[in-house]
Homo-oligomer: A and B are copies of this chain.
Amino acid sequence: MKLLLINPNTSLPMTRSIAEAASAVAAPGTEIVARCPTFGPVSIEGHLDDAFGAAGVAEQAMVAAREGFDATVIACFGDPGLDAAREALPGPVLGIAEAAFRAASIVATGFSVVTTMTRTCVIAERLVSRYGCESTCRGIHGTDIEVLSLESCDEATLARIEAASRVALARDRSEAIVLGCAGMAALCEELQRRLDVPVIDGLAVAVKLAEALSALRLRTAKRGDYAPPLSKRWTGWAAGFGRDVTA
Footprint of B on A, CB under 8 Å? Answer: 10, 25, 27, 37-43, 45-52, 54-55, 57-58, 61-62, 81, 83-84, 86-88, 92-94, 98, 102-103, 105-110, 117-119, 121-122, 125-126, 129-136, 146, 148, 169, 173-176, 196-198, 200, 204-205, 208-209, 211-213, 215-216, 218-221, 223-227, 229-230, 232-239, 241-242, 245
Contact = CB atoms under 8 A, between A and B. Distances in A.
Nearest to A25: B216
Contact of A218 (B87, B198, B218, B225): B198
Number of copies: 6
A56 B138 CA distance: 31
A86 B14 CA distance: 28
A63 to B, nearest CB: 12
12 contacts: A10-B235, A47-B83, A48-B61, A48-B84, A50-B83, A54-B54, A102-B102, A103-B213, A107-B213, A121-B225, A198-B220, A205-B218
Contacts of A37: 236
Contact of A226 (B52, B58, B109): B109
A117 B172 CA distance: 17
A220 B47 CA distance: 14
Contacts of A81: 51
Which one of A42, A52, A88, A233 has the highest number of Cβ atoms from chain B below 10 Å of its Cβ?
A52
